[in-house]
């Protein structure tokens, strides 16, 4: 069975995550999302909705944990599937709307926040979890989160790894709209149709201008190398191994800071 369901309705495309049991983002699922985006780009669609199946309890459980390396390699490199799909969404020429119901975890928060607009059902929650798993999140990922979430909230989310309600995130300007579950599809469709009526050429350039300007955070090679070496200390640590092991053994990790 396909890991995504792809539908086209006029100028609007919909990509529905369809991986049992919790839409964990493995390489295969991400390849299918990327391929759906490429097809929609070739067809010049004007707006795309990324969603989970109707009534989902979990929108996505984040990065497939069994695909995080434990052999001393950087767990989130430039070519990690999560990084690839985030870039594909950011570079996609038309707006992508995340239509979110259910809980969103870890890397799936970055996926959602890389979309251009977010519409969430009332009971949606988002948890950014690297500190729960012991994963040294990478620089471009952190920057992507910073573009969307203000510093006090991103710090709270990163440092506690706890779910935050969509309502609170809407109040902080992270989520565009929170609506009752039963109105989620009609509301999102209406929003999508308003986008379809605007100039695709202007939207394409506006999206690119915003992407380029929001990413304009130059750092020195030395600063970059320093952060990379700090990250390396984490993925070489006992705590990193413990975080992944604890997840697989379905227990709380015991971190010792080494
Ligand atoms: O026992 P089975 O074989 O049925 O498997 C279970 C879970 O182990 C599995 N599963 C996952 N497998 C791989 N990668 C995942 N991220 C993942 N999440 C879950 O799916 C089966 C169903 O899970 P249950 O726990 O039994 O289902 P449920 O009680 O409905 O709870 C669903 C949630 C999503 C709440 C629960 O599974 C959960 O807390 N999952 C972990 C969410 C999480 O912390 N994700 C972050 C992954 N890491 C990242 O995205 C980044 C790399 S980072 O670490 O930096 O944030």
Give 76-122 pLDDT, tens digit per residue. Answer: 999 999 999 999 999 999 999 999 999 999 999 999 999 999 999 99
- The CA distances from residue 109 to 97, 131, 143, 154, 183, in Å, are 14, 14, 13, 11, 22
> Does 4-183 carry CATH code 3.90.226.10?
yes
Per-residue buried b or exposed e for 19-55, using 16+ beta carbons within 10 Å of the residue's own CB: beebbbbbeebbebbbebbeebbeeebbbbbbbbeee
Q: Which of 22, 57, 84, 158 to mutate to test the pocket of ligand 1 (most atoms within 8 A of CB)?
A: 22
* Helix%, strand%, coil% for the chain, nearest 5: 50, 15, 35
Q: Which residues line ligand 1 (CB under 6 A)?
A: 21-22, 24, 58, 61-66, 103, 105-107, 129-130, 132-133, 135, 137
For the chain, domain boundaries? 4-183
* Cα 103 to ligand 1 centre (Å): 11
Closest C-alpha residue for ligand 1 atom 15:
64
- The CA distances from residue 33 to 17, 147, 258, in Å, are 8, 23, 37
Please tell me the pTM assigned to this model: 0.97
Given pLDDT bands bounded at 50, 70 and 90, which one contains residue 148? very high
Is 107 part of the annotated catalytic residue set? Answer: yes
Per-residue buried b or exposed e for 115-124, using 16+ beta carbons within 10 Å of the residue's own CB: bbbbbbbeeb
In the chain, % of residues over pLDDT 90 = 99
- Residue among 13, 102, 137, 240 flagged as catalytic: 137
Is 257 part of the annotated catalytic residue set? Answer: no
Predicted local confidence at residue 215, as pLDDT: 92
- Residue among 13, 62, 63, 141 flagged as catalytic: 63
Is 63 part of the annotated catalytic residue set? Answer: yes
* Cα 24 to ligand 1 centre (Å): 7
Measure the CA–CA gap between 242 and 247, rounded to whole angstroms.
8
Measure the CA–CA gap between 45 and 39, rounded to whole angstroms.
9
Atom nearest to 66 CA in ligand 1: 13
Q: Which of 28, 103, 105 to mutate to test the pocket of ligand 1 (most atoms within 8 A of CB)?
A: 105
Predicted local confidence at residue 1, as pLDDT: 78
Average pLDDT over residues 172-187: 98
Atom nearest to 58 CA in ligand 1: 34
DSSP 65: G
Atom nearest to 68 CA in ligand 1: 52
Predicted local confidence at residue 67, as pLDDT: 97
**Tokens 């996505």 sit at which residue?**
60
For the cut 90, the answer to whether the pLDDT of residue 217 exceeds it is no
């Amino acid at each position: 069975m396909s890991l995504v369901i792809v539908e086209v309705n006029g100028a609007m495309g919909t990509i529905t995550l369809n991986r049992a049991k919790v839409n964990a983002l493995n390489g295969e699922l991400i390849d299918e999302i990327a391929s759906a985006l490429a097809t929609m780009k070739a067809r010049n669609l004007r707006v795309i909705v990324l969603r989970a199946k109707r009534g989902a309890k979990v929108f996505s459980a984040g990065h497939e944990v069994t695909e995080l390396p434990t052999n001393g390699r950087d767990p989130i490199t430039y070519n990690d599937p999560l990084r690839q799909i985030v870039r594909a969404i950011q570079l996609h020429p038309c707006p992508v709307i995340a239509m979110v119901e259910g809980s969103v975890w870890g890397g799936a928060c970055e996926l959602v926040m890389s979309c251009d607009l977010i519409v969430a059902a009332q009971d949606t929650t988002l948890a950014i979890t690297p500190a729960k798993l012991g994963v040294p999140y990478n620089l471009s990922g952190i920057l992507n989160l910073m573009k969307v979430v203000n510093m006090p909230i991103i710090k709270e989310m990163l440092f506690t790894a706890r779910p935050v309600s969509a309502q609170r995130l809407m109040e902080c300007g992270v989520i565009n709209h929170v609506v009752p579950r039963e109105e989620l599809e009609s509301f999102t469709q209406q929003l999508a149709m308003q986008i379809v009526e605007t100039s695709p050429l202007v939207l394409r350039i506006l999206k690119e201008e915003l992407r380029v300007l929001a990413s304009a955070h130059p750092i020195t090679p030395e600063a970059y190398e320093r952060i990379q070496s700090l990250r390396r200390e984490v993925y070489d640590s006992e705590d990193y191994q413990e975080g992944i092991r604890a997840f697989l053994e379905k227990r709380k990790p015991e971190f010792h800071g080494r």
